Amino acid sequence: MVSLRCKMMVHEELNNLGIKHAVVDLGMVDLLEDITHEQREILKRELLKSGLELLDDKKSILIEKIKNVITEMIHYYEELPKENFSDYISEKLGYDYTYLANIFSEVKGITIQHYIIINKIEKVKELLLYDELNLTEISYKLNYSSAAHLSNQFKKITGLSPSFYKQLGLKRKNNLEDL
């Protein structure tokens, strides 16, 4: 669950099933009471209809927690943490980073660092299309050492330069306004 809409859908399904809960947060629900096997299966089925998955095994749950910490850190905080991402993730989840990194790589097939880069590039795309910050400001906001470093990483991930990506986005926006 990485959006308000997802949280609302889970909240609604829990209410429909009469399952008492305290918190519906990113990738996690705090239940106030145990649920029956039947309730769990119905919840699983109903969430799947909405494109959401109920996770059962500990590895999958931990992977989702890692992804949620990264998503939260990059997309929802005004400023990225000043400490190393590895220290931040480890502290947030209460596990040794090496352990988290090994499980993440084993299950997802990419490193946590690469997943962070992909998310940062998605944030860069968003900021480029908002057209409120220049590339230097974006690189500072996302803790890149320079705009050149950001540009190189952007091109490796997307195959496009940031300026070309921005032009494509603005051209598309202008074309939509002409309709």
- Beta-bridge partner residues of 30: 23
The yes-or-no verdict on residue 93 having pLDDT over 50 is yes
DSSP 145: S
Q: What is the domain class of 115-178 according to CATH?
A: mainly alpha
Kindly state the helix (H) or strand (E) to which residue 24 belongs, with its residue range. strand 21-25
Reference 46, options 14, 2, 3, 20; nearest CA is 14
Q: What is the pLDDT of residues 18-75, one digit of tens each?
A: 888 777 776 677 778 888 888 888 888 888 888 887 766 678 889 989 999 999 899 8
CATH 1.10.10.60 domain locations along the chain: 115-178
| CA–CA separation, 131 and 165 (whole Å) | 12
